[in-house]
Amino acid sequence: MPKFSRNIRLFFALISDSIRVLIPFILLGAVFFYIAWQFVEPAPPSQFSLATGSSGGAYEQIGQRYAESFAKSDFELELVNSGGSVENWQLLLDGQVDAAIVQSGTLPILDEIPLDAVVSIALEPLFVFYRPDRVNLADTDFLTSLDQLVGMKIAVGGEGSGTRQLIYMLLEEAGLLEFYEARAQLIEIGGQQALEALQAGEIDAAAFVMAPEAPLMAELLADPELQIMNFSRAPALERRFPFLTQVTLFQGVVDLQANLPNRDIQLIAPATYIAIRQGVHQSIVQLLIEAAKADQNRISLISDINEFPSLRYTDIPIASDAQYFFERGPNILHRHFPFWVASLIDRMAILIIPLLAILIPLMRMAPPAFRWRIRRRIYRWYKRLRVIDDDLAKPDLPKELIQSDLELVKQFENEVADTVVPLSYMEEFYNLRLHVAYIRSRLEERLSSIEKT
């Protein structure tokens, strides 16, 4: 039992000494940790919102596919329906959403736009369908420009949509906007509602900005009472408006069996891209790019293979993080670890590297510091013994001083007896005990000789 008690004392004494030695290193490490922490990027948000478009529309479908991609990384993507690109820009600028799917050419006119682009994801042409029975086609087989629609009621897309803004801009460029507005011939409806109104004869023409693969497109092309406008001046429009791209919808590409469309059609197409608020976490930017790349496995009827996603076709600059991840792809951590683990290591790397560079040398200094602390305790007793030894060298040493030194040495013996040191220091420890005993015996002899005299 005494042996067990002594081992316990030895264990706790060593722990206490180790802690006292390590305290300065721990404090110094904590200071460096605090300094490095100031440069650590915040954790990714628990939720991220993406403005899409009208319910059932193409933008909402894109958002749903992106949400599925985010879910594979155990991350929730909140989809926010809206009226379209124009409303999406406002939602972004107001801070109500973190990202949005937008159409090029719809960017608000502001002195400063605190937003960045991530990637463009598609070209979506402007389609103008009309009822040929409402126009005079004596000179041409089909309409080729918007000025031929004068006098017709046109559905231009709902309020807040990119379609509406694009049509208004093209009509203004052609000098026709005031004419249409004065006669209330621009009807602000779009999508399925515009299709139904066109088929029912309530309107004469309707504009749609959408992918040729959209189900609505096949229905429009298959309707024998409708025709599609061929933009004969598409190359000129592309030159005048940098956000527009000339594309061709080839004969039969929508439906080979039904031969839809029944001729090659020249069109102009704005780009669809993802915009984000500046300062969005880089991990979210990476997830958006991964979702965009995964979503491009579908066939595009107007774009070349692997053309999208792209860093082109945007109205605003690409975010630096987006360009980095687009060109280099996910790093090794994100390829082999779950999203949250990889993000945590990414964030902590700025702490790990400097802390290791500092703490490794410091920890190498800890063992010498520990040895110095043990030896310092032993040397402290030797320092006192040397003073007593110097007293013994004096021939006329007073009896009172000898008695005082003897009491002090006995106190030393008790302190040494109660002290535990590691086994590696037992040689110094036993030498100390021998020297204390030696000094005590000399003091007792000196005191004895004085008392005899």
Tokens found for residue 63:
């958002």
Residue 252: per-residue pLDDT: 92
Q: Other CB atoms closer than 10 Å to residue 376's CB: what's the count?
A: 9
Tokens found for residue 390:
């110097």
Give helix 282-295 / helix 320-328 axis angle, nearest 10°.
50
Residue 333: per-residue pLDDT: 63
Residue 348: per-residue pLDDT: 67
Please tell me whether the overall predicted TM-score, pTM, comes out greater than 0.85 for this model: no
Q: What is the DSSP letter of 360?
A: H
Which residue ranges of the chain lie beneath pLDDT 50? Answer: 1, 3-4, 10
Residue 1: per-residue pLDDT: 47
DSSP codes of every residue in 5-64: HHHHHHHHHHHHHHHHHHHHHHHHHHHHHHHHHTTPPPPPPSEEEEE--STTSHHHHHHH
What are the C-alpha distances in Å from 19 to residues 11, 228, 355, 373, 405?
A: 12, 83, 20, 12, 34
Alpha-carbon torsion, ordered 259, 260, 261, 262, to 10 deg: 30
Assess contact for 439 and 389: CB atoms under 8 A: yes
- 33: amino acid identity, one letter: F
